[in-house]
Every structure is written in C-alpha cells, then in structure tokens.
Structure 1
Amino acid sequence: MDRAVAAARRAFDDGRWSRAAPAYRKKVLHKLADLIEANALELAVLGVRDNGTEIGMALKAEPGSAAGTFRYYAEALDKVYGEIAPTAPGILGLVHKEPVGVVGAIVPWNFPLMIGSWKLAPALAAGNSVVLKPAETASLSLLKLAELAAEAGLPDGVLNVVTGAGSVTGEALAMSMDVDVLVFTGSGGVGRRLLEYSARSNLKRCYLELGGKSPNVVFADAPDLEQAAKVSAAGIFRNAGQVCVAGSRLLVEESIHDEFVEALSRHAAAMKVGNPLDLTTNIGAVNNLTQLEGNLNFVTKAIEEGAEIALGGSRIMQDTGGYFMEPTVLKGVKPEHNVAQNEVFGPVLAVTPFASDEDAVAIANSTKFGLAAGVWTSNLSRAHNMVRNIQAGVVHVNTYGGPDGTVPLGGVKQSGNGHDKSMHAFDKYFDLKTAWMQL
C-alpha cells in the first residue's frame, strides 16, 4: 500500500495525468468505457463469483453501470469551469478548480465495480491519482478494471488497486500522510475508524457513505397496489438484500396492511433463490457466512421481541454450496425493535403499520440513518410533503431503486456525507483556489 501511494503521488506531481489536456483525459476514459463494455460478461462473472449477485442484475448493475459512469465523467470533465468573482473595479477575482492530489478509495463487496466506478470515474476525470482498496471478498472485477485502464492508456501510477485485509491495507491507506482525500462506502463502524485515522494522520478529508435503514411507505391511495407490492419486493430482496438503499422497512397504511403484506409475500415467494450464474435466478447468494449468520440472528431477535414471520426466515441449502437465505418478511415489527433500527444488509423486510401521514413520517425518521426512502401515493401534495419531511438523501415516489448517474446519491444523519454520481460528485475531487489580482 505504501508503494502504491508513493506511485500515485509521483504520477500526480509530475503531471502525467493531472496536467494533461482535458481532451486527452477524455479520450482515455472513453476508451476505458469501451473496454468495459467489450469485457462486460467476464467482468460480471468475476463479480458474481466473488459476491453472489444474480447474473441478470450483475450485468446491468456492474459493467453496464460502470461503462456509463466512465462515459458520463469523460464527457463532463471539460465542462467544469472556474469562476470570475463580481468584485470592485480594478480587481480581478478568479476561482480555479484544481485536482486535490491523491485519492484513497475503499469500496464494499456488494457492487464493487459499480461503486468503485462511482469513486474512480470523477476522481480520474478531475485529474487526480487514485489508490483503490477493494473488499477482501470481492476484488476480482476491480483488478480486471485496472488491467483495462492500463490497456486504455491510463498512465502508470495514476490508478493503483491494492487488495488485502481492511485492518492492514485499509488502515495503511487511511493513515497515509500522502493521501489527500479518502472516499468510502461501507459500515458505520469502519467509517468511524477512518475518521479517527484521518485525525491521527494528516487530517485528510473523508467522505463516507455508511448504509441505511430505508423506509418504503405505502399509502392506501397508491396508484397500483399490486405493482407497488411487486416493486417493493424487488427493492429489498434483489441481490439478497445486499444493497445500501434497500427498502428494508415497509410502512403500510393500516387500512390496507394485511392485503398488501399478503401481496408482497406472494411476489417474494415467487422469486427464485439459487445459483447466481443461472439466468433464471432472481435472488443470489449471501456474500459470506458471517453475513448469513448475522441475518438469521436478526430474525431470531425480531421473533423474541414480538414480530411474526409472514414469509421465510431460514437458510436454504443449495447443492452449489455457498450461502443462501429465504426472502423473509417480518410483520408486527415496532419502530423500536432491533430489526427496525439497525441495518441487516440481507433479505429481511420489517413491516410496520401506520395510521396517518404524520405517523408515517415519525416512523420513517425514527432511526439514525437517512440514505433512501420510498413513497407510494396518488396524492401529489402528499408526495411533495413526504419528500420534504422524510430525512433521506434519495426519496423514490411510486417506484423504488433505479436513479441513474444524472442525480446525486448521498445520505444524511449517520448515513454519511458527500455525494456519489452526477456533477455533484466532482465536489469531493476538486480544490478551490482563489486568485486575487490588482489590475
């Protein structure tokens, strides 16, 4: 890791990329996007073998998303302008945007290529050098991405991928005195350690996306309750629930509670759990045994606290090996229950009824998280009010999941700070420099 950071620093300081013409950087990043598309199946399969995502979802969410992300920032990089300040006569105030230097990026195992690209593409487009540390259990697709970046013509040292345990390579990256910005997606516990490492080293800026406990609020006047049930099931159970924005808390208006839970459970039960390399699979594998055991412990604790199992709740043994779990629906969950307060990161849905708009907002905002949310209603005023009042970085209305790269993703409260995606992602990777000139 120390050698990788040193290589990134040399590459940044000598200007081989940081001072290269925008047209050149654009050409290289477009070439990388072409290579990602040309190698999409290999990249997807590498990821599936690592993290267990069902292949149908992986093709779109991993190489498909990554290629689009690199194209977006390749096109955007020469549209970022400085500013001329409206100052007094005889003074010229200029605001320059300059690359920050060496960016350290630590990404999780659930969508390594997609989330890695959210960090890499804007950082590289801005002219920075990057050292990327993948999760221990999902590094293959990002190692392949580094090979493709070299093939695309990215200069040596500009992108470095270093594998290893978080306690070794991750800590070394976060403690480095030569890393200027650290970006991270993962757990709150690790995020707190990264802030400590920043304080103990060079006070590097840290941007953290720390997961969520996202409420999906269904009103009786939803435009299509059957469609809402189907989409809500996919919104929690695809990728075995291992999605940071997963709608893991279902809040249902009391008057439709029973029928909606039945409809959602029916759609969930129809989803095929199995070999993630099988094109007919809807729900793939849990990433590792520790995660599976944690998921099952959440179910056990929920039952102890008074919840009931409406669907699932158990491990599924597969002849392919690996770790699989039934899509699980828990009803009768109260807002204070453990499963309603803490991120499971697995195929476990906590269902809670609500009586009014105010009740829904109070329950939705009753956790420490604030990453995403969903609202299902035909009432335009209600939709706007819920978007305004729910504490979340992303609020879906009459859908769940799917915002593309044109809009930012970030959280509030203990879901983190800073934004991935859209032009706002550049904010993390540029420094502002003022030039104050007497004419």
Structure 2
Amino acid sequence: MSRPQTLNDWQALAARLTTTLNDRAFINDEFVAAVSGETFETINPATGEVLAHVASCDKADAEIAIRHARAAFKSGVWSRMPPGERKRVLLKLADLLEANQDELALLDTLDMGKPVTSALDDMAGAIGSIRYQAESIDKLYGEVAPTGQQALGMVLREPLGVVASIVPWNFPMMMTAWKIAPALAAGNSVILKPSEKSPLSALRLAELAREAGIPRGVFQVLPGFGHTVGRALALSMDVECLAFTGSTAVGKQLMQYAGQSNLKRVFLECGGKSPNIVFADCANLDRVAESAAAAIFYNQGEVCIAGSRLLVEHSIREAFVEKVVAAAERMQPGDPLDPASFMGAMVDKTQHERVMGYIRQGVEEGAALRAGGEDIAGPGLFIRPVVFDGVTSQMAIGCEEIFGPVLSVFGFETEAEALALANDSDFGLAAGLWSQDIDRIMRMTHQLESGQVFVNNWAGGDQTMPFGGVKQSGNGRDKSHHSLAEYTQLKSVWISLTP
C-alpha cells in the first residue's frame, strides 16, 4: 500500500485506524485490563476528540509485570540466547516497524499533536535505532587483561536484568526505540512505561514485538501515570535499571527512589535550555536564520534540545532577528494530518496553558515581543511561533525550560560574553555554534558545558553519535554503542594458571 500523500488521505487512514485502537496493557505476552479496572482518556489535542480509554496500570500491575520479566530473565530464554539469534529477532522487529510505519506515525500524530511528517521522521529514527543496536549485538567484545603467564584475567559483559524504560510524549516511538533497543539487544528484560499522554503507539509496538518473536515476559508495556505505575517500577527491589527521558524534576525523584530501594542504575535524559550562538562571521545569514527558527519551532517547541536561547552578535543582531521573525511566519501551526503543516498542536491543555503563561510573563518582565503571542481560537490547542528579543538570564523565559514554541534572543559583543551567557544555565543538553573561524570553533567547543555541540547546524547526528547531557540535563547516553554498553555490567574473572 502506498503512503498517504494528502490531508484527505491521512484523514481517511485515521478514520479507519481509530476503530481498532489497542487500549490494554501488555503483560506476559497478553493484552489485559489493569488489575484495578481503571482507565484514562487519551485525547487528540488537535480536535479535542477522545481517542481511547486506556488501561491505567498501578503498583499491582507493575508487580505482576516485574515478576514475569524476572522469570524470563532468569530462564535465559532471551538473556542467554546467542547474540546472533537476538539480532535476528530485533531485525525482524525493525522490518515490522518499517512495514507499519505509516500507522505508527499516525498514532503519535493523533495522540500528541505532532505533524505527521515529523512523526514519519521519528519512525525512521526508531527503525534505524533498532537496526543499529541489533547489528551491534555480536560486535561488543569482552576483554582479556594483560596478565603474566601465571593467570588469565577476563572481563565479561553481562545484561543487567530487568530494565524499566520510562519515555516521554514528545517523540513517543523514537524515544522508545532509543531506550528499548540497546536494553533488549544486551539481553535484558524490558518493561516500557509510555507517557499517559501518548500510549497508543507503544501498545501497537507490543503487538509487533510479539509477532517478531520476542519471548514471553521479555518485553511488556504498562500504560499509566508516573505517580502510580512509574513510581512502583522505580521503587521495586527487582528492577535493576531505570532509563528515563523527561523533566529534571522527575529525574531527581527517580534517583531518590533508586536510593530508597536497591540502588538501581538510573540513566537520565532530562530538561534543556539550549543556547544557539550566532557570530557575525557565519556564512549565509538567511540559511542560519531558517535553521535557528526550526531549532525552536520544530515539533511545536516540544523538544528537549530545542534551541530556545538564541545568542546573536550585536553587529548583526537586528538584521538577523528580522530574518528569524520572517522564518517564524512561515512556520505557523496547522492540521497535524496535513503534510504541509510545519507545526501541530500542543500535547494537552496543561502544556498549552503553561506555554501561554510563560508568554504573558515574558511581556510582563519587559522582553520585546517580536512575533506571535496570541492564542488561536478553536477546539485545537495551537500556539503561533513566539520570538522575544532583549531577553536576560534573569527572566523566566531566559532561564526556565518552557517546552513550547517560544524563542528568547540575547545579544553579545565578545566571544567571552557569548560563552558566559551560554554556560549560565542549570542545563547542559545541547549547544549550537555558527562561525567560520575554526580556532574559535575549537576553543568554544571545548568550553561549552553541554553533552553535545552542533557546529554550523542544529541537531545533526545519526545512530553512531551518543545523545545526552551534563549538569541538570542528566547523565545517560542514548544511541551509539555507548548506550548498548550502559545496559551491561562488567564481571571480572581471575583464573590462576599455576600448578
């Protein structure tokens, strides 16, 4: 079947898809209601339509899933399966995702409001992640220590056990793949807790995982809320690892839960307030302005690495901001099912109200509103791109993560001032740098307090590059072989060879 091409095509597919939505938890290879019988609504933020009433799991469901995950791990049905066999199963899963990518992308579009073109890009990333980690399984070696002839020292890599993956709503399928692919590849049992704001694609993924041949109990999906089922997973004595993407506040809470339970490993990818630094010597101001606008307005600004702080050298500031404003005017929100829409709807009323509150606060604090700022009437939760100029680090819009289409522009005179502004943040997830001066690029790349630096681009990289932050943006890494190693533990073996 060919991919839908028009708004009408996607609307027709959505009409068919919404009659067959899976709304139950996936525990031990079966789709089941929550033990409590409780459900929650998942709502299309572009229309206000209730899509489904999804099983709302809590502690009782978590305990059942953990018991099955641990039993599967100890049985060795997956954890001791030859790496080449695990690779074969995960590659089949990637093939199934590819065959069903339109449906999975559409589920995320309906569930959280992202444009369908963005959701399709996410699917390409998800499929690529699973294939990369699958192909890496049989290429991760242990070590032989450099001992003398009287001993043999080996360093073995072994899976951790039960891994709980708690993923966000802004990139549901891609973030899920980044978490579960390396964890499963390493031989762990995985319990996925999708956001209550975007659970539908995770439940469809469970069907495909079963079809691919992932054994019973090795992969399970528990929809529900963070304070119920998420908390139960984090406090469990039988979960060895938490892999989380979300807010810094929740990340800190999960670390406390780990300390209160079994000192489980906690890999965090948390908030960001990323600086995007533009020097006067950058090439092609029009292209850079377009990229700077996309860096914050893509996915409605609901992006952890959004370039929400734009730092511009004073000599080009006014001209450059005008170009960014012009680019913002071309990036207006529209129907998420329309392939022509660059932006979609905010995920829910809470997030919509939060962003509008920051916009009002920015005006009150004295920032110059250069674009946007008004609400869009109608049933959908849409916000036009917003550009504030004259922002300082003391303003809320200049230092707090908004997670919406709000750009804060700062000015600077010198490289040292730009660096100080960029690093004046609790966060350190990403940074952008636009310049043709290679000496400056290398100096600043080393001094920027960030887990990743994009030079003359924004958000570049592929599966070979680790993704993660420093400071209060977290400590873990997604993607690349580094993430696969995180889901293993080292065992030292010393064999005496003397008589």
Quickly name the TM-score band, shorter chain normalised. Answer: over 0.9
Correspondence for 1:233 among 279, 293, 297: 293
Alpha-carbon distance in structure 2 between the residues aligned to 1:313 and 1:90: 73
- Pairwise CA distance, 1:51: 1.1
- Pairwise CA distance, 1:404: 1.1
- Pairwise CA distance, 1:402: 3.2
Deviation digits for residues 254-284 of structure 1 (CA, Å, limit 9, x no counterpart) = 0000000000110110113111111110011
Correspondence for 2:102 among 35, 41, 50: 41
Correspondence for 1:423 among 481, 488, 492: 481
Do residues 80 (structure 1) and 140 (structure 2) align? yes
Matches within 5 A, 1:190-269: 190-269=250-329
- Pairwise CA distance, 1:375: 0.5
Task: Identify the residue that residue 106 of structure 1 maps to in structure 2.
Answer: 166
Structure 2 unmatched ranges of 5 or more: 1-61
Task: Identify the residue that residue 59 of structure 2 maps to in structure 1.
Answer: none
Alignment check: 8 A CA contact 2:154 2:492 kept: yes
What amino acid sits opposite 1:219 in the alignment? F
Task: Identify the residue that residue 136 of structure 1 maps to in structure 2.
Answer: 196
What amino acid sits opposite 2:425 in the alignment? T
Structure 1 unmatched ranges of 5 or more: none
Other structure's SS at 1:424 match: helix
Matches within 5 A, 1:335-350: 335-350=393-408
Alignment check: 8 A CA contact 2:333 2:344 kept: yes
Which of structure 1's runs of 4+ aligned residues deviate more than 6 A? none
- Pairwise CA distance, 1:322: 2.3
Alpha-carbon distance in structure 2 between the residues aligned to 1:414 and 1:14: 38
Task: Identify the residue that residue 10 of structure 1 maps to in structure 2.
Answer: 71
Matches within 5 A, 1:9-408: 9-61=70-122, 63-318=123-378, 321-408=379-466
Alignment check: 8 A CA contact 1:272 1:280 kept: no
- Pairwise CA distance, 1:316: 1.4
Q: CA RMSD in A?
A: 0.8
- Pairwise CA distance, 1:92: 0.7
Other structure's SS at 2:108 match: helix
Alignment check: 8 A CA contact 1:54 1:282 kept: yes
What amino acid sits opposite 2:205 in the alignment? L
**Percent of residue pairs identical:** 51
Alpha-carbon distance in structure 2 between the residues aligned to 1:259 and 1:246: 22
Alpha-carbon distance in structure 1 between the residues aligned to 2:373 and 2:486: 41
Other structure's SS at 1:28 match: helix
- Pairwise CA distance, 1:403: 1.5
TM-score if structure 2 supplies the norm length? 0.86
Other structure's SS at 1:423 match: helix
Alpha-carbon distance in structure 2 between the residues aligned to 1:314 and 1:417: 37
Alignment check: 8 A CA contact 2:332 2:384 kept: no
Alpha-carbon distance in structure 2 between the residues aligned to 1:216 and 1:372: 9
Other structure's SS at 2:472 match: helix
- Pairwise CA distance, 1:89: 2.7
Alignment check: 8 A CA contact 2:376 2:383 kept: yes
Other structure's SS at 2:300 match: helix
What amino acid sits opposite 2:322 in the alignment? E
What amino acid sits opposite 2:493 in the alignment? A
Alpha-carbon distance in structure 2 between the residues aligned to 1:315 and 1:146: 38
Other structure's SS at 2:277 match: strand
Alignment check: 8 A CA contact 2:454 2:460 kept: no
What amino acid sits opposite 2:271 in the alignment? G
- Pairwise CA distance, 1:121: 0.3
Alignment check: 8 A CA contact 2:299 2:344 kept: yes
Alpha-carbon distance in structure 2 between the residues aligned to 1:159 and 1:402: 31
Deviation digits for residues 283-335 of structure 1 (CA, Å, limit 9, x no counterpart) = 111101111111111111112221010000122124xx321101000001012
What amino acid sits opposite 1:23 in the alignment? G
Alpha-carbon distance in structure 2 between the residues aligned to 1:99 and 1:262: 53
Deviation digits for residues 205-263 of structure 1 (CA, Å, limit 9, x no counterpart) = 11111120000000000011110000111110011000111100000000000000000
Alpha-carbon distance in structure 1 between the residues aligned to 2:377 and 2:109: 18
TM-score if structure 1 supplies the norm length? 0.98
Deviation digits for residues 160-210 of structure 1 (CA, Å, limit 9, x no counterpart) = 000011111100110111100101000111111111111111111111111
Other structure's SS at 1:434 match: strand
Other structure's SS at 1:358 match: helix
Other structure's SS at 1:315 match: coil
Alignment check: 8 A CA contact 2:133 2:484 kept: no
- Pairwise CA distance, 1:383: 1.1
- Pairwise CA distance, 1:388: 0.8
